[in-house]
Amino acid sequence: MGYAMDPALVEIERKVEAGVSLGMDDGLALYRTADLHNLGRIARAQKERKSGKNVFYVLNRYINSTNVCYANCKFCSFAADEFKEKDRVFRMTADQVFEKALETGTNFNQLHIVGGHDPRQLSLDYWLPLMRRFKDALPHVQLSLFTAAEIDYMAKRHRMSYPEIIAQLKEAGLDNVNGGGAEIFAEETRAKICANKVNSENWLEIHEELHRQGVASNATMLYGHIESLEDRVDHLLRLRASQERSPGFNAFIPLAFHPDGNELNDCGWTGGLDDIRTFAVARLMLDNFDHIKAYWMIQGIKICQVALEFGADDMDGTHGSTDEEMIYHSAGTQSGQYVDDREFRRLIEAVGYTPVRRNSTYDEFPYDWSPVEQELIHA
């Protein structure tokens, strides 16, 4: 015995197939529908119109360079006050970051580094020489560094405009900026969870300036805390409008809130249905984004496999076998730290898709590609 498709989805599917962008009411209907099967089917069809049967992954290295941070975000379990929490504080030197990136070899295509709002580390004196050193030693590796929040902090520290500081970072080798710091754009909610961080308008302005100068970036949304469904859809609509004004976002990554050890722990964990629904809504609302990324470190590998049936087309990175992600692990994620690339391909093929190795900007590589041995420069 069959069942009737949710009438709201019938109209939304018609719009999607006609190339009509969805609005606030459509987004809320997608979040509220009980017809999860057809929601997934429509999102999956849209994903396949974008990237066919391909699902992307990257061989990368991941480093958190410091946990010193004075943003004081309510959802964060990673940040440490260097005066009040001396036992927790770490701050890597430039040499330590360089050595860590190369610790398990050079066969990777992306270096992903994120830290905190650290007045000692977030300086051009620290980063520009280190970025040039990486480019000299590893010309095949794209530098995927910072968040817009970190760039805003660095610009204020140096009393520079966004165009000025982005130009210097690009000249030193910045290829891509990570999507963090977006959290939730709705100002009232944002003021409650991250009042000291870059505001929504400036987060978007930084990314649009990056794109104008030829630096790619990703976008995120932190969901599952105190935000409303209206806040989530508003966030996606603002990202879509930004992409329209200044194209350059490669991928959108939904970030599920994790509650352990932070001030919003009463919000609890997101459920699997909310996770996969959010992937589908993102795929359908962000019609001018090519890629929706399921980051296994956050939602877990099994949910990410299901997300591929709900519009996601990327499983993100392997990390190095000795890498240690700390932001989500501080907040209670049970995911591991490393997945072998052969296992990545097996997981993707098991869902019926074709695994494709990529770099930050989605250039494609054969699965067994490896760089020509480089003579590493240890300045």
According to the model, what pLDDT value does residue 336 have?
A: 86
Token pair 């959010």 in the structure block, residue: 278
Residue 379: pLDDT over 50: no
Q: How many CA atoms within 13 Å lie on the side-chain side of 309?
A: 14
- Classify the C-alpha dihedral 361-363-368-374 as positive or negative: negative
Q: Residue 19 pLDDT > 90, yes or no?
A: yes
In SS3 terms, the chain reads as CCCCCCHHHHHHHHHHHHCCCCCHHHHHHHHHCCCHHHHHHHHHHHHHHHHCCEEEEECEEEEECECECCCCCCCCCCCECCCCCCCCCCECCHHHHHHHHCCCCCCCCEEEEECCCCCCCCCHHHHHHHHHHHHHHCCCCEEEECCHHHHHHHHHHHCCCHHHHHHHHHHCCEEEECCCCCCCCCHHHHHHHCCCCCCHHHHHHHHHHHHHCCCEEEEEEEECCCCCHHHHHHHHHHHHHHHHHCCCEEEEEEEECCCCCCCCHHHCCCCHHHHHHHHHHHHHHCCCCCEEECCHHHHCHHHHHHHHHHCCCEEEECCCCCCCCCHHHHCCCCCCCCCCHHHHHHHHHHCCCEEEEECCCCCEECCCCCCCCCCCCCC
List the beta bridge partners of residue 365: 357
Taking the whole predicted model, whether its pTM rises above 0.85 is answered as yes
- Show the tokens assigned to 36: 């999860």
Query: What is the average pLDDT across 175-181?
Result: 96
186 has pLDDT over 50: yes
263 vs 279: CA distance, rounded Å: 26
List, in sequence order, every residue forming a beta bridge with 223; answer none if it has no partner: 256
Is pLDDT of 285 > 90? yes
Asked if 128 and 182 touch (Cβ cutoff 8 Å), the reply is no
The 10s digit of each residue's pLDDT in 235-250 is 999 999 999 999 999 9
pLDDT value for 373: 57
Tokens read off for 311: 């519009």
Of the chain, the percentage scoring pLDDT greater than 90 comes to 92
Confidence category of residue 378, pLDDT binned at 50, 70, 90 = very low
Model confidence at 50, pLDDT cuts 50, 70, 90, reads: very high
Tell whether the model's pLDDT for residue 374 goes beyond 90: no
pLDDT in tens, 324-372: 999 989 998 988 889 999 999 999 999 999 999 999 999 999 999 999 7
The answer, yes or no, to whether residue 375 has pLDDT greater than 60, is no
- pLDDT greater than 70 at residue 277: yes
pLDDT at residue 2 is higher than 70:
no
In 148-174, which positions are buried (b, 16+ CB within 10 angstroms) versus exposed (e)? Answer: bbbbbbbbeeeeeebeebbebbeebbb
- Report the pLDDT averaged over residues 309-329: 93
Q: Buried b / exposed e across 55-79, counting CB within 10 Å, b at 16+?
A: bbbbbbbbbbbbbbbebebebbbbb
pLDDT given for residue 377 in this prediction: 46
At residue 1, does pLDDT exceed 90?
Answer: no
Residue 163: φ, ψ to 5°: -60, -35
98-140 tens-digit pLDDT: 999 999 999 999 999 999 999 999 999 999 999 999 999 999 9
Residue 153 has pLDDT above 60, yes or no: yes
What mean pLDDT is reported for the chain? 95
